[in-house]
Chains A and B, each alone.
Chain A
């Protein structure tokens, strides 16, 4: 069955430090999608990135970067030079066809990131 594991429940760092959030997934499908979402204290879910299983290129967007490695079934997220505004809960999610051939999002438990000034 599909599964997403975010082993880090909570991470606390001081502003300007780099921080990496881990995500490990399980799927038997060869075609799947991986996502990261940010949930700030206000509660909304903010889409950060989507990756399909055929594109293993790492991506950088400003201070954010993502490392997708199929060999280890991981899709890790790094924030460089963290800022207080990065404080949020971050969710990794997987979408594959395991559920009745429909792609549905399977969520990790989330990692609470605290950036201290």
Chain B
């Protein structure tokens, strides 16, 4: 058990809808990272938050947004969903702002139909 908790584990929704994925980091970790794993793109970094502030941005679509709350949990919001957004979404956390050691949650499998 990595100590990173993601909910829900599975999500099925229709195109055009909006969903929220939730992540609780390991106790004491200040950084949260979101990754997308799709069949055609592999594992891609989306965004990082550190102690409530956005720290780094990767290949995140404008339809997607995230935030980190004062209790350090994070949410990834995906809107106007398309079939191509179907993927496994991972959250990771680390103590520092620099991702030199990251532990991953079990992922949320999103299926857009």
The residues of A with any CB-CB pair to B shorter than 8 Å are: 33, 37, 43-47, 50, 52, 91, 95, 99-100, 102-107, 109-110
Contacts and interface: CB of A to CB of B under 8 A. Distances in A.
- Measured as residues with beta carbon below 8 angstroms from the partner, the interface class of chain B is 20 to 34
Given A43-B106, A44-B107, A107-B43, A102 B101 contact: no
B102 interface: yes
Residue of A43, A52, A100, A110 with most partner-chain B CB within 10 A: A43
B56 A104 contact: yes
Please report whether the interface of chain B is mostly helix, strand, loop or mixed according to DSSP.
strand
Given A103-B100, A104-B99, 14 more contacts: A33-B100, A33-B101, A44-B106, A45-B90, A46-B2, A47-B103, A47-B104, A102-B56, A103-B98, A104-B33, A104-B48, A104-B56, A107-B44, A110-B43
Interface of B: 2, 33, 35, 42-45, 48, 55-56, 58, 88, 90, 97-107, 109
Given A43-B109, A109-B42, A104 B58 contact: yes
B65 to A, nearest CB: 19
Contacts of A110: 42-43
A102 B98 contact: yes
12 contacts: A47-B2, A50-B101, A100-B56, A102-B48, A103-B98, A103-B99, A104-B48, A104-B56, A104-B99, A105-B33, A105-B102, A110-B42
